[in-house]
């Protein structure tokens, strides 16, 4: 179990609604406790059933999501059972008889009453309090997990603002034999990537087809008069296509990332700044950047799953330097081949991928190894690094 936290950004009215939800959760907790005190032999399930009774009785309790009501009752049960345990253990001093709480600072939802946006940047609270959409600040880590893995969401009030805690179940750890291979990946506009072994992974044909269609639909939208019915229809078509393409792209990213991680012990890639990417207006470029950053997220995710090393390296001079001798060999964007005085002749992207791998290796604390152009063999490396890689 892992707890990821993000700060919530919203409007003052939304914060007031969170406060109301927190107050209600506290009310449910205290009412459950009261019920236990007043009735002998009440157990966990009776308390849970009591939540529904409260919802019928009080309108404000009804507004709180049913799983949040249950979570509050569970909280009250946990303080009751702690008391029972202390009694059984015959603790000599205080047994900790459960108390009513005057102030609460959190409300917990289980798997309903909330929704994360596709990009995991917004949390939408959908229960009767209608808190609505809140921006998540610092939620990057959320991208590594599937929605199903998030078992609970807790809204917490702190002195400096409101936070959301995501309780993530992470049991995906798969053992896999070391592949004795390391690689660097160079992103391209023409190819999806080129690796340090010189292998090229192309963009799948169905994606290229979808992207062409996307361009066409985009043109149709801009051709229609603003505010016209036809434009609305065109926008709808474009939006649907966007969704389809983004699903296809994700599918491809997941499969490719899984494959790369499984067949290498170390994966180095360029640390491209997403902010710079968004600024780029060229469609082809922005599409390639978007798929790349999604792919990278999945490589990092699978790196954790399979216990492999993933390194992001600064993207400087990776295409200009010679991967064999380190000399700067200037080339324009149209120069597709790297040819150095030292005799190293390589495809431009292959050379870059080798450079990326070299920087990646130096970043994991190893700088001595020199290797020739072409095949890269992990056997050349120190035993110490191999240990690190297969961890
Ligand atoms: Zn050279």
Reading the chain (391 residues) residue by residue, the pLDDT tens digits are 577 888 899 999 999 999 999 999 999 999 999 999 898 888 888 888 888 888 888 888 888 998 899 999 888 888 888 888 888 877 666 777 888 888 888 999 988 899 988 888 899 998 888 899 999 988 767 877 888 888 899 998 877 789 898 888 876 677 888 888 999 999 877 788 999 999 999 888 887 788 788 889 889 988 988 889 999 888 888 877 877 777 788 788 889 999 999 999 999 998 876 545 445 556 566 666 677 888 988 898 889 888 899 999 988 888 899 999 988 998 887 888 999 999 999 999 999 999 999 999 888 754 333 333 333 333 333 333 333 333 3
367: Cβ contacts below 8 Å, ≥ 6 apart: 361
CA of 318 to the centre of ligand 1 (A): 13
- Cα–Cα distance list, 293 to 35, 200, 208, 260, 268 (Å): 52, 18, 18, 15, 14
Q: Looking at residue 172, what is its pLDDT?
A: 67
Q: Is 35 helix (H, G, I), strand (E, B) or coil?
A: helix
Q: Is 368 helix (H, G, I), strand (E, B) or coil?
A: coil
Domain ranges of the chain: 2-168, 182-201+256-389
CA of 216 to the centre of ligand 1 (A): 44
CA of 289 to the centre of ligand 1 (A): 29
CA of 333 to the centre of ligand 1 (A): 19
CA of 185 to the centre of ligand 1 (A): 20
> DSSP states of 36-68 as a string?
HHHSTT--HHHHHHHHHHHHHH-HHHHHS-HHH
CA of 190 to the centre of ligand 1 (A): 25
209: Cβ contacts below 8 Å, ≥ 6 apart: none
CA distance 351 to 356: 9
CA of 329 to the centre of ligand 1 (A): 8
CA of 326 to the centre of ligand 1 (A): 6
Q: Is 190 helix (H, G, I), strand (E, B) or coil?
A: coil
Cα 118 to its chain centre, rounded Å, is 10
Q: At what angle are helices 205-223 and 229-262 packed, to 10 degrees?
A: 160
Q: Looking at residue 146, what is its pLDDT?
A: 81
CA of 349 to the centre of ligand 1 (A): 15
Q: Which long-range contacts (CB under 8 A, 24 or more apart) does 193-199 make?
A: 193/292, 193/353, 194/347, 194/349, 194/350, 194/352, 194/353, 195/260, 195/353, 196/350, 196/353, 196/354, 196/356, 196/357, 196/376, 197/375, 197/376, 198/346, 198/347, 198/350, 198/353, 198/374
- Cα–Cα distance list, 44 to 32, 100, 217 (Å): 10, 17, 56
CA of 325 to the centre of ligand 1 (A): 4
CA of 193 to the centre of ligand 1 (A): 22
CA of 334 to the centre of ligand 1 (A): 20
Pairing outcome for strands 132-137 and 114-116: unpaired
CA of 269 to the centre of ligand 1 (A): 21
* pTM of the full structure: 0.52
CA of 317 to the centre of ligand 1 (A): 14
Of residues 72, 191, 198, the one with CA closest to residue 127: 72
DSSP single-letter state for residue 364: T
CA distance 35 to 31: 6
CA of 282 to the centre of ligand 1 (A): 33
Q: Looking at residue 125, what is its pLDDT?
A: 92
Of residues 309, 311, 298, the one with CA closest to residue 144: 298
CA of 373 to the centre of ligand 1 (A): 9
CA of 340 to the centre of ligand 1 (A): 5
CA of 342 to the centre of ligand 1 (A): 4
CA of 255 to the centre of ligand 1 (A): 35
CA of 338 to the centre of ligand 1 (A): 9
Q: Is 383 helix (H, G, I), strand (E, B) or coil?
A: helix
C-beta of residue 157 within 8 angstroms of C-beta of residue 127: no
CA of 339 to the centre of ligand 1 (A): 8
CA within 13 Å, CB half, 25: 26
Q: Which long-range contacts (CB under 8 A, 24 or more apart) does 19-22 make?
A: 19/157, 20/60, 20/129, 21/64, 21/68, 21/107, 21/125, 21/127, 21/129, 21/131, 21/155, 22/104, 22/105, 22/106, 22/107, 22/155, 22/157
Task: Take residue 351 and report the two structure tokens written for it.
Answer: 């050379």
CA of 346 to the centre of ligand 1 (A): 10
CA of 288 to the centre of ligand 1 (A): 30
Q: Is 28 helix (H, G, I), strand (E, B) or coil?
A: helix
C-beta of residue 182 within 8 angstroms of C-beta of residue 265: yes
CA of 221 to the centre of ligand 1 (A): 50
CA of 344 to the centre of ligand 1 (A): 5
CA distance 142 to 150: 9
C-beta of residue 47 within 8 angstroms of C-beta of residue 77: yes
CA of 379 to the centre of ligand 1 (A): 23
CA of 353 to the centre of ligand 1 (A): 15
User: Computed from CA positions of residues 31, 35, 37, 41, in that sequence, does the dihedral angle turn out positive or negative?
Assistant: negative
């Amino acid at each position: 179990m892992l707890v990821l936290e993000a700060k919530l950004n919203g409007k003052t009215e939304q914060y007031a609604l969170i406060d109301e939800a927190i107050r209600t959760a506290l009310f449910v907790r205290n009412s459950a406790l009261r019920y236990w005190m007043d009735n002998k032999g009440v157990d966990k399930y009776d308390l849970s059933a009591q939540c529904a009774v409260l919802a019928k009785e009080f309108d404000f309790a009804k507004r709180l999501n049913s799983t949040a009501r249950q979570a509050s009752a569970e909280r009250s049960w946990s303080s009751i059972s702690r008391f029972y345990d202390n009694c059984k253990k015959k603790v000599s001093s205080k047994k900790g008889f459960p108390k009513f709480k005057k102030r609460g600072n959190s409300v917990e939802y289980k798997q309903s009453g909330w929704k994360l946006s596709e990009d995991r940047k917004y949390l939408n609270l959908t229960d009767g309090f209608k808190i609505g959409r809140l921006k998540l600040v610092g939620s990057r880590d959320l991208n590594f997990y599937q929605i199903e893995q998030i078992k609970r969401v807790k809204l917490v009030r702190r002195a400096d603002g409101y936070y959301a805690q995501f309780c993530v179940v992470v049991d995906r750890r798969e053992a896999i034999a070391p592949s004795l291979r390391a690689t660097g990946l160079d992103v391209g506009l023409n190819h999806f990537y080129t690796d340090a072994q010189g292998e090229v992974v192309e963009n799948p044909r169905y994606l290229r087809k979808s992207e062409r269609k996307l361009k066409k639909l985009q043109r149709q939208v801009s051709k229609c008069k603003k505010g016209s019915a036809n434009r609305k229809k065109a926008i709808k078509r474009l939006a649907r296509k966007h969704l389809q393409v983004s699903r296809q792209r994700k599918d491809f990213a997941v499969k490719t990332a899984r494959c790369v991680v499984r067949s290498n012990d170390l994966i180095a890639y360029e640390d491209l700044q997403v902010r710079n990417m968004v600024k780029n207006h060229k469609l082809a470029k922005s599409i390639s950047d978007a798929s790349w950053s999604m792919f990278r997220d999945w490589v990092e995710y699978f790196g954790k799953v399979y216990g492999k090393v993933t390194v992001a390296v600064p993207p400087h001079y990776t295409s200009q330097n010679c991967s064999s001798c380190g000399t700067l060999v200037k080339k324009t964007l149209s120069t597709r081949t790297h040819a150095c005085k030292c005799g190293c002749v390589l495809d431009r992207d292959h050379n870059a991928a080798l450079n990326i791998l070299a920087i990646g290796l130096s970043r994991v604390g190893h700088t001595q190894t020199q290797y020739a152009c072409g095949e890269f063999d992990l056997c050349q490396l120190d035993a110490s690094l191999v240990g690190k890689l297969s961890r």
